[in-house]
A and B are shown apart, each in its own frame.
Chain A
Amino acid sequence: MPSEEERASVPKSSQRGFGGPGKGRAPAEKPKDFKTASKRLVKELNSFKVSIIIALALAMIGAGLTIYAPNKLTLLTDEISNGLNINTNFSMDMAKITYITIVLACVYFFSGLFSFIQTVIMTKVSNFFAKQLRSRISKKINKLPLKYFDRHQTGDILSRVTNDVDTIAQSMNQSLGTIVTSITLLIGSVVMMFVTNGIMALTAIGASLIGFIGMGQILKKSQKYFLARQVELGKLNGHIEEIFSGLNVVKVYNGKKCADEKFDELNQSVYDCNRKSQFLSGLMQPLMAFIGNFGYVAVCIVGAILTMNNVFSFGVIIAFIVYVRLFTHPLSQIAQALTAIQTTAAASERVFEFLDEEEMDSQNEISKCLDKNNVKGKIEFKDVVFQYDNNDKPTIKHFSAIANPGQKIAIVGPTGAGKTTLVNLLMKFYEISSGEIIIDGVSTKELSRENIHDLFTMVLQDTWLFEGTVRENIAYNVKDVSDEKIEEVCKEVGLHHFIKTLPNGYDSELSENNSISAGQKQLLTIARGMIKDSPFLILDEATSNVDTRTEELVQEAMDKISKGKTSFIIAHRLSTIKNADLILVIGDGNIVEQGNHEELLAKKGVYANLYNSQFEL
């Protein structure tokens, strides 16, 4: 008979649990990274300490009340049972029952209220923590050295700001309060069970022990898939960003197949990680439900035996039925919360990894400061050497040059000779390997980056505009610019008429879908540079997208504002630099020739060669 086998097996397994209820408590070994990540998370949450403690206290009180309730419920059922007893003449004490009911209703109400307040506080904490993280990432971006971006994909960083932080906020919200409530419920119900009846308590706990072990196994397995999922998602995001940004090339080169192949591969990995992590975390709930039912049966059977032997009243069984639910419910809640915490840990690991990236050198020791309005304008390069991190030889080799106040210095040379690198060093975007750059007698090493940036107006070939109005784009980060000033500058660069044709003039929104030509974009960035008005000027191929007629106009305007300013101009178009005071011809990281246009042509060297090549076929 199958029932006999079952009969034999049920108590056995519950008996096995008698040994050590404490042993299985903690889910077995966690991966090391999980530990580090959770520790870090706790540390980061420090500023929310007060809120969290209040929330946790409320959670504990709420849970305490929930545990208190079954005890009262026992009284209630005992009263009712009294009325069942046919042999006695006792009837129910309806007044007592009403009293208990009212007390219990109050208990439930307050327990609910506390849990509500607790959830609201935790919601606030998790949302504002997420906000803090996003804001920190955004600030971090501006603290990282440029070389970081040489190595990392935009899309992956974006994924950290959106996907990872979202995940942290959502799962932390679900998990923290739940865990505390659940642990309180768990401990409380264990205590109450032992207070009510020891044997029954052991039965209930023993039956649930299997659940603990199963849970531990599952947690151990699923952690790696959670991390993998976030990582794969980041990679996928990176690929998507890359393809969408370069869509014109992808189209014409029929690169779709190639893009698709990589996409499919990444998409498949995300799919695999999703499927596995979701399934493993989905296992917890039904497993715990089963344990709950199993515990119920165990409690009933043991209870029945004991009741029959008149060890205790029937009410105790009813109470235990509720306790088992109270005991296993937090178990499944904990299980769920632990998966949520796993997800949080995996996502936060990626966020913290980014936040921990090495920042640019500290500027604490910088004491010197050059006043923008008082700069004379001499710049000296002294034996400058610079090597990019991932290169095996220097890009700039022992470069020395002097720019005197008010001079217009042109830098020409074949592509890859290091022209833009020189600008990067001048702007202190990268740190010089050896040698120094001296501005008005002060080494840039002694000046803060902000100070240096303040001294230079830089216009790049890369026409960077952002979503916002024309006005905002032109008066970028310069306060109190009058409308007249903006219009004046736009008239000078020949933009005014074009801007007037836009639907809202200077208040028109610029976005990716505007049909603004590359040249017009360039003019906008030039106008932006003119508004900034600093003592030094750097034009890095700033006019190469503009036709030469317009360039002449721009140059006239530039000459006007750069009067008395030291300016550096990088240009391939030699007409742009013909009138420079000093032309530095760069080759392979150093100066090969210098002089003005006429001198250099007379030399019939590299420059002359370069110049004449424009007339060749």
Chain B
Amino acid sequence: MLKLFKNLTKREFILIFFSLVLIMAQVWLELKIPDYMSQITKLVETEGSQMNEILKNGGYMVLCAFGSLIATVIASYFICVIAASLSKNVRKKVFDKVQNLAMNEVKSFSISSLITRTTNDITQIQMLLSMGLLLAIKSPITAIWAVSKIINKSWQWSTLTGVAVVLMLSIVGVIMVIVTPKFKRIQKLTDRINGVTRENLTGIRVVRAFNAEEYQEQKFDGVNDELTNLQYFNQKKFAIIQPLMFGTMNILTLFVYFIGAKLINSAEVTGRLEIFGNMVVFSSYAFQVIMSFMMLAFIFIMIPRGQVSAKRINEVLDEETTIKDGSKDSEKADEVGTVEFKNVSFKYPDAEDYLLKNVSFKANKGDTVAIVGLTGSGKSTLINLIPRFYDATDGEVLVDGVNVKEYKQKSLHNKIGYVPQRAVIFDGTVFSNVAYGENGKDAITEEDVKKAVEVAQAKEFVEKMENKYDTHISQGGINLSGGQKQRIAIARAIARNPEIYIFDDSFSALDYKTDSILRKELKRHTKDATSIIVAQRIGTIMNADKIIVLNDGETIGMGTHKELLENCEIYKKIALSQLSKEELENA
């Protein structure tokens, strides 16, 4: 938790300092009040005192109260600003951090957990701070100050108060010990709730097609039950605190009076008034002492839940990303538009088996290199190494003759136009989706977008839409068909005008005709660009300059379509499964 405070800026530290001063002033004023109270009590009790005196003391008391009000208001404003800005800054940091993580790191947190961490967990911290920070500063000050005021009044009263405080604190302590471990589980279950709901939302069509609504609901109910029971268990324990606090306060006052009565009874008649005055003052200070210790206890109760959230946030912030930014900009490259793999092997950090073994090839400027292979042979993994979603375990991946690790990621990405298997559509318009991001050159113009959409064979349907390029399309892109989404995603890559295109099985959602026209147009539009294509369809790749056949992460064939048909058994099988012999020969 304290670690999170490192995210406070100078301005907020200054605010904390001022809040501290203000709260001290406020406590001082607040503790002045019982003094005036006792003065007033004494005056009222003493016969023949002047009304003037009472009014004067009353006036001072109101002034103190007013001063304390003003100080509190300002301090609490500062604290709201501190809490809100801390949560804002931390949220920003987490958001930033997640964007810089390697894809496997993101996956190991799971996306729904990252979402809860960025929203729910930070809200928890913010709530804790906005409610707790004021108390955290105020209670110890009040406690110490109030204790010092009453410590010398009477040992009987002091002991009584001491016992009450110790009693209360130990009960609170026991509750904390019981409750704290559950908080962690609660946040985990919140992740789960989020996860199960997200799963239902993303798979809505499958859920319905399988009539599995009930299945999903049962799963949700399972998590929901556990979450509710744990929350209830914890809060039941907390329920004891408030009555305990007020009970103790009331009974303490009662006993202060009771002991007072005994003291007065046994004292000399002349000293009785003195004791009576002390009694009234003591009971109001004792009230303050108990109150402040209780507030302190409250904070200690709130902290564990905050602590859990803080830890979850810190886990993200502390995650050492394995993808370190290099220093090279792109200007002084010896080569342009080349991609080279030199003995590249890859496995996930904790995995035993290599997903890629010793892959080497080079794509020159303007080349089209295709990667084919059976399902699970490592095709996607291979091309994911180029934009550094992962880093190669062994060997080197070179772009424009430079190891990708040496580039600034931004510069590396500026060279690349990447289209994933599953088209990503952002909430926005067609235009904003195609003109997405930046490419290190001039901003993408309307002209560029129109051209890109045309090349991607999306012009026809885009221009048929109600607002054409300004039509709103949603995150899931459900109002677009799979092929339309994919073409928007392809247009996005084209609009970037990159040196290197990476298509991760991006054409399979398109029909042959569109696929073929699109690739033809693309070739025409980007004569010099290099393309790395993962594909299933032979038709898509047969004209590639180089085809790499992967099997279990190893290269088992490399060459042109014709060469491979002759010397690569697996390639031949793949090809024959799609086209007849004659068709292959005629092509």
Contacts and interface: CB of A to CB of B under 8 A. Distances in A.
Which interface residue of A80, A163, A545 has the most chain B CB atoms within 10 A?
A80
Given A274-B84, A279-B77, A307-B44, A127 B232 contact: yes
A153 B516 contact: no
B510 interface: yes
A518 B578 contact: no
A57 interface: no
A263 B348 CA distance: 31
A52 interface: no
A101 B258 contact: yes
B198 A154 contact: yes
Interface stretch (B140-148, B174-182, B219-227, B399-407): B219-227
Interface string B454-486: 000000010000100000001110111111101
A416 B575 CA distance: 28
Contact of A162 (B116, B410, B481): B116
Contacts of B205: 146, 424, 427, 429, 458, 460, 462
Contacts of A401: none
B56 interface: yes
Given A146-B204, A154-B198, A466-B203, A610 B512 contact: yes
Give the interface SS of chain A, mostly helix, strand, loop or mixed. Answer: helix
Contact of B239 (A84, A120, A573, A617): A120
A123 B239 contact: yes
Given A138-B197, A150-B474, A427 B208 contact: yes
A79 interface: yes
B298 interface: no
Interface stretch (B3-11, B160-168, B334-342, B419-427): B419-427
Given A282-B130, A390-B479, A610-B511, A91 B265 contact: yes
B31 interface: no
Contacts of A194: none
B18 to A, nearest CB: 15
A301 B246 contact: no
Interface stretch (B151-159, B325-333, B358-366, B372-380): B372-380
Contact of B261 (A83, A267, A573): A83
B149 interface: no
B526 to A, nearest CB: 15
Contacts of A268: 88
Contacts of A282: 76-77, 79-80, 130, 134
A437 B68 CA distance: 76
Given A297-B62, A550-B375, A414 B212 contact: no
B123 to A, nearest CB: 7
B261 A541 contact: no
Contacts of A240: 95, 115, 118-119
B168 to A, nearest CB: 12
A283 B514 CA distance: 64
A458 B205 CA distance: 9
A613 B519 CA distance: 11
Interface residues of A, number: 186
A382 interface: no
Contact of A415 (B505, B509, B523): B509
Nearest to A246: B424
Given A97-B258, A119-B243, A611 B69 contact: no
Interface stretch (B97-105, B307-315, B445-453): B97-105
Interface string A303-337: 11101100000100110000000000000000000
Nearest to A116: B243
A162 B228 contact: no
A296 B250 contact: no
Interface string B39-68: 011011101000110111011011111101
Contacts of A421: 481
B202 A464 contact: yes
Interface string B81-112: 10111011001100110110001101110111
A145 B545 CA distance: 48
Contacts of B83: 274, 278
B237 to A, nearest CB: 10
B301 to A, nearest CB: 14
Nearest to B63: A6
Given A240-B95, A415-B487, A392 B466 contact: yes
A437 to B, nearest CB: 16
A571 B118 CA distance: 40
Interface in A53-99: 66, 69, 73, 76-77, 79-81, 83-84, 86, 91-92, 94, 97-98
A76 B115 contact: no
Interface stretch (A32-40, A42-50, A248-256, A557-565): A248-256
B231 A154 contact: no
A34 B194 CA distance: 28
A161 B516 contact: no
Interface in A259-317: 259-260, 263-264, 267-268, 270-271, 274-275, 278-279, 282-283, 285-287, 289-290, 293-294, 296-297, 300-301, 303-305, 307-308, 314, 317
A541 B482 contact: yes
A374 interface: no
B517 interface: yes
Contacts of A496: none
Contact of B193 (A84, A161, A248, A270): A161
Interface stretch (A16-24, A230-238, A363-371, A438-446): A230-238
B99 A251 contact: yes
A572 B44 contact: no
Given A242-B427, A254-B439, A575-B578, A162 B517 contact: no
A405 to B, nearest CB: 21
Nearest to B507: A572
B2 interface: no
Contacts of B269: 86
B426 A138 contact: no
B264 interface: yes
A373 interface: no
Which interface residue of B52, B195, B209, B475 has the most chain A CB atoms within 10 A?
B209
Nearest to A414: B511
A434 B25 CA distance: 76
A331 B224 CA distance: 36
Interface stretch (A128-136, A195-203, A484-492): A128-136
B579 interface: yes
Contact of A259 (B88, B99, B118, B578): B99
Nearest to A279: B80
A518 B107 contact: no
B217 A135 contact: yes
Given A244-B115, A248-B103, A282-B80, A549 B573 contact: yes
A527 B471 CA distance: 38
Which interface residue of B208, B246, B414 has the most chain A CB atoms within 10 A?
B208
Contacts of B497: none
Given A139-B217, A274-B84, A263 B254 contact: no
Contact of B209 (A111, A274, A456, A512): A456
A278 B73 contact: no
B123 A233 contact: yes
Contacts of B387: 248, 251-252
B565 interface: no
B574 interface: yes
B194 A161 contact: yes
Contacts of B577: 548-549, 551-552, 575
Given A301-B40, A415-B482, 9 more contacts: A115-B246, A139-B213, A151-B474, A254-B440, A260-B95, A278-B84, A522-B375, A544-B536, A614-B540
Q: Nearest 10 CB-CB pairs, A to B? A: A415-B483, A519-B375, A253-B437, A614-B539, A112-B247, A293-B65, A6-B59, A464-B203, A286-B72, A477-B212
21 contacts: A10-B62, A131-B227, A149-B201, A149-B476, A154-B201, A163-B120, A248-B418, A248-B424, A249-B489, A271-B85, A279-B80, A289-B65, A300-B37, A413-B511, A414-B513, A476-B212, A541-B509, A547-B374, A575-B579, A609-B513, A613-B513
